Amino acid sequence: MSIDNAVRRVRDLIGERLSTSPSVLDLHGQNESYYAPTPPDAVATPHSTEEVAAIVKICGEEDCPIVAWGTGTSLEGHALAFNGGICLDLMEMNKVLEVHPEDMDAVVQPGVTRERLNEELRATGLFFPVDPGANASLGGMAATRASGTTAVRYGTMRENVLALEVVLADGRIIRTGSRARKSSSGYDLTKLMIGSEGTLGIITELTLRLQGQPESITAAVCAFPTLDAAVTTVIETIQSGVPMARIEILDPVSIRAVNISGDMTLPEKPHLFIEFHGSQAGAKEQAETFGEIAAGNGCEGFEWSANQEERNRLWHARHNFYYASLKLQPGCRALSTDVCVPISRLAEALLETAEEVREAGLTAPIIGHVGDGNFHVGFLIDPERPETLETAKRLTHSMNRRALRLGGTVTGEHGVGFGKKPYMTEEHGEGYAVMAEIKRALDPKNILNPGKVVDIN
Amino acid sequence: MSIDNAVRRVRDLIGERLSTSPSVLDLHGQNESYYAPTPPDAVATPHSTEEVAAIVKICGEEDCPIVAWGTGTSLEGHALAFNGGICLDLMEMNKVLEVHPEDMDAVVQPGVTRERLNEELRATGLFFPVDPGANASLGGMAATRASGTTAVRYGTMRENVLALEVVLADGRIIRTGSRARKSSSGYDLTKLMIGSEGTLGIITELTLRLQGQPESITAAVCAFPTLDAAVTTVIETIQSGVPMARIEILDPVSIRAVNISGDMTLPEKPHLFIEFHGSQAGAKEQAETFGEIAAGNGCEGFEWSANQEERNRLWHARHNFYYASLKLQPGCRALSTDVCVPISRLAEALLETAEEVREAGLTAPIIGHVGDGNFHVGFLIDPERPETLETAKRLTHSMNRRALRLGGTVTGEHGVGFGKKPYMTEEHGEGYAVMAEIKRALDPKNILNPGKVVDIN
Ligand SMILES: Cc1cc2nc3c(=O)[nH]c(=O)nc-3n(C[C@H](O)[C@H](O)[C@H](O)COP(=O)(O)OP(=O)(O)OC[C@H]3O[C@@H](n4cnc5c(N)ncnc54)[C@H](O)[C@@H]3O)c2cc1C
Ligand SMILES: Cc1cc2nc3c(=O)[nH]c(=O)nc-3n(C[C@H](O)[C@H](O)[C@H](O)COP(=O)(O)OP(=O)(O)OC[C@H]3O[C@@H](n4cnc5c(N)ncnc54)[C@H](O)[C@@H]3O)c2cc1C
């Protein structure tokens, strides 16, 4: 029983699609955070569910860790092979298998990215709404319970996955859920797998709920004198019942990054980016209500646009924000952290964080899907100045503790991976032990992404 | 170790709130289906989470089955003590603990009923949308993953419970989730508990998501020449993207029952009952789009109403439908069954069922939350004529098989209980074994509602 045996046996199974070439290993040892590269022992690229099952079975027999890999954009060291073993790269299982316009659902393999899916859907008048900032794989998005700018209207991966095919730790293949819109038929295995970060099973197929493209879309950008005024506008808008499709907050540092990346010239002030979906009349009505609330909070330089090109430029800049922010300090890396609190505590969570960042003197854009009470800080780390990493870690710790104190969670959407594990006991108490019991029941040998989310040894 | 010991020890703990009086036992041995009464050995009525935990602990030590009880309206024998033991009646844990209008959530004990909650919320401008036909307990509704007429717009219990407090089989108390709107923090224990029907834990507190009362509500009733025309209207309306708040189908037999119960005079034809929520302009626009689609399908006798009293009468009649249908054949009982299929297969599922019912010559109203692809048949059973029960069982079996063949589920909202267990392997395959593994991990002694959902021995 050994990793070496497993690698040999998997090579026998899939030939050249098992690679140990240093460049391939390096590529699968990278991450978008500050963790040191951690290459796996080998990278396997399966082409079918049956291959995934056979590989997982071998790894079980050989006690070899197996770490699923989508686009590798997760931010808490999720997909790093800290214990070595085989990285299972699912990006060649990338077919859109079925689209059912009449049921507004689609069946896809895990290596399809969200942008690819939406390209394929364009002609149908439907779209898949969940949009993390990276063009991630749908398998990875389900595995991290991802969300994005539209969660406030359409929900997260939790609400938008109807069914899954999953390979379990012993190689069994199960189907969870069906194409029916709802069901009370037994335990919710679909939701158990969503957000399990490759620690309970490998997702080999997803049935996704689609949305109809709205008849009309209106977007706006508006600047506020203070962060407080922007947050108050968000809270009042939610309470007014206006169904926003997107509402993002950006602090002045974020605006600087967006200006760079999107070639825009927004004033370096706190901003909201908003979007409304609906019928012509509906979207206009929503926009007007919002306009009144924003004006009441001192909004300056309000700009509406129903023009698609302008809107695309806006959201493109928002989605590219992370990579743009790295340009604020060439050569730096980022530690991006993510918390979520009840809406009523958002002002407190966000303003105290901003104040701490200011005091510490770090460059750290604050940006958030604030309609859900969710926001991120992207601490820029200078590899030449190790103290910047230490300060960022200290502030991250403080943000996490604050989120818990305010009745929230240490991660709204990025997930636990390795980085948020230290907060799990404080967040879940005895519930964290229950997670370990479930992990133990489904993966007693701890071969699936060991060391992430929860430990069982 | 025995049930008797457990009963004695629980009496020591809560005194008179442990009852073995025959009338109390009988009351907790009844059900709304055709199952013979099955009284438990004792009924305990706890007043706090700590009492629940202590009782569960005793039952664990004494190997005594423990069956949670809300309002006892479940339809598949869920809450019947087939193995004896203690019935845990949660209806005296019935406080609305907190309402947070600014976060649009509320914290309640499990014995609060949905109508009680909405009465308490009235002044806040908020409401809790999930509305099964019975005035069920919120604990029971979470435990069965219930839904109702508004699921098409607001979702089921799955989407409307943010967090739970749960007592586990060994007496540990856990909190799952938080008041944050979303989270990627570990396995989704909230969703695992929702729909677990008292077999994985006892729900002692719920944090519920609330909705803002819409500015404007418009309702309509319309008759169609055929069931087919009504179903086609539903499908076309969904595809048009109109956000219906409710869309219910009623066959002519159901209309007869509704006329009796609601003192109404609707023509005995297939009907749709519909409701739209939105701004004044929005609801009107939605209603108009629907009107055009309905007219295209030969809708007759279209009647709109924004008048609240008329609307209330309509939905009251719909909600009272079940008890009304029993009046179609005085002295009868009902076997109400529930399936859900992808929308595109709804016509097939519903029309084949209707044809089978007609051929069999039973009185069996067909009614459904068709916006989700979900419908029910209420077979009326004449206790004097046992063959009516046999026929009803045969047709139920046929409906379940058909739902699975069409890619659906054998229960959209009522749950598994005892009655749907025989279909679990066909519906979930190896996934059903995984449910057993989870049950075994969390309740190894099988004391929580044994014999329901899944067996582990
Ligand atoms: C610029 C940028 C912006 C981002 N913005 C957002 C955002 O707005 N919202 C958000 O939620 N996240 C965001 N993220 C984080 C990241 O994009 C998401 O977590 C995404 O869901 C990860 O998908 P992936 O395909 O890259 O997964 P990976 O990073 O490859 O893997 C993530 C985890 O899932 C597991 N996994 C992957 N595929 C599978 C599978 N098929 N079966 C089982 N397990 C699997 C891996 O083992 C790992 O534990 C952002 C990241 C970046 C770099
Ligand atoms: C007239 C009528 C109409 C109906 N219409 C609908 C409908 O439209 N939609 C729908 O979904 N259902 C419907 N039902 C079924 C039923 O109302 C629902 O299943 C409801 O959710 C049951 O709630 P209850 O409080 O009666 O639970 P009970 O029947 O008391 O219990 C149901 C199950 O949950 C468990 N349980 C109860 N409380 C707890 C708790 N606190 N913790 C853990 N487990 C618990 C019990 O052990 C049992 O297994 C209808 C029933 C009737 C009689």
What would the pLDDT profile of A56-113 be if each residue is shown by its tens digit?
Answer: 999 999 999 999 999 999 999 999 999 999 999 999 999 999 999 999 999 999 999 9
pLDDT at position A404 is 98
Q: Hey, is A154 helix, strand or coil? A: helix
Residue of A435 and B241 predicted with greater confidence: A435
What number does the ligand 2 atom closest to the CA of B204 have?
41
Q: Where are the alpha helices (DSSP H) in B332-442?
A: 346-360, 386-405, 424-428, 430-442
pLDDT at position A195 is 98
Report ipTM (2 d.p.).
0.96
Q: Is B387 on the interface with A (CB under 8 A)?
A: no
Instruction: Using CA atoms of B334, B335, B336, B340 in order, give the dihedral in degrees to the nearest 10.
Output: -160
With 90 as the cut, is the pLDDT of residue A370 above it?
A: yes
Interface of B with A in 28-67 (CB under 8 A): none
What number does the ligand 1 atom closest to the CA of A137 have?
25
Q: Which one of A407, A409, A431 has the shortest CB-CB distance to B189?
A: A431
Q: Which one of B180, B187, B278 has the shortest CB-CB distance to A409?
A: B180
A34 pLDDT tier (thresholds 50, 70, 90): confident
pLDDT at position B282 is 82
Residue with tokens 């969300």: A147
Indicate whether residue A133 lines ligand 1 (CB < 6 A).
Answer: yes
B388 pLDDT tier (thresholds 50, 70, 90): very high
pLDDT at position A242 is 85
Across the interface, do B340 and A420 touch by the CB < 8 Å criterion? no
- Proximal ligand: closest to the CA of A204: 1
Q: Which one of B187, B343, B372 has the shortest CB-CB distance to A102?
A: B343
Angstrom distances, CA of residue B311 to CA of B249, B303, B317: 16, 11, 10
Interface of A with B in 300-339 (CB under 8 A): none
Indicate whether residue B453 lines ligand 2 (CB < 6 A).
Answer: no
Contact between B32 and B79 under an 8 Å Cβ cutoff? The reply is: no
Instruction: Annotate B222-235 with b (16+ C-beta within 10 A) or e (fewer).
Output: bbbeebbbbbbbbb
What number does the ligand 2 atom closest to the CA of B78 have?
49
Q: Which of A206, A193, A203, A161 is nearest to A442 (CA)?
A: A193
Q: Is B214 on the interface with A (CB under 8 A)?
A: yes
Q: Which one of A151, A372, A435 has the shortest CB-CB distance to B186?
A: A435
Q: Average the pLDDT over B231-247 and give the result.
A: 89
Q: Is A75 on the interface with B (CB under 8 A)?
A: no
Looking at the complex, report in whole angstroms how far the Cα of residue B304 sits from the nearest Cα belonging to chain A: 21
pTM for the model:
0.97
pLDDT at position A311 is 84
Contact between A135 and A170 under an 8 Å Cβ cutoff? The reply is: no
Beta bridge partners of A375: A339
Q: Which tokens sit at B312?
A: 């209330």
Q: Where are the alpha helices (DSSP H) in A157-278?
A: 157-160, 189-193, 227-239, 252-262
B263 pLDDT tier (thresholds 50, 70, 90): confident
Residue A215: list chain B partners with CB under 8 A: 241
Q: Where are the alpha helices (DSSP H) in B94-169?
A: 114-121, 138-144, 151-154, 157-160
Residue of B184 and B239 predicted with greater confidence: B184
Q: What CA–CA distance (Å, rounded) separates A37 from A28?
A: 9
Amino acid (one-letter) located at B92: E
Mean residue pLDDT of chain A comes to 94
With 80 as the cut, is the pLDDT of residue A236 above it?
A: yes
Of chain B, the percentage scoring pLDDT greater than 90 comes to: 83
Ligand 1 centre and the CA of A289: distance in Å? Answer: 35
What number does the ligand 2 atom closest to the CA of B322 have?
1
pLDDT at position B235 is 86
Size of interface A-B (CB pairs under 8 A): 280
Taking the alpha carbons at both ends of chain B, their separation in whole angstroms is 19
pLDDT digits (tens, 9 = 90+) for B39-54: 999 999 999 999 999 9
Ligand 1 centre and the CA of A131: distance in Å? Answer: 11
Q: Which of B206, B215, B213 is nearest to B99 (CA)?
A: B206
A309 pLDDT tier (thresholds 50, 70, 90): confident
B299 pLDDT tier (thresholds 50, 70, 90): very high
Ligand 1 centre and the CA of A77: distance in Å? Answer: 10
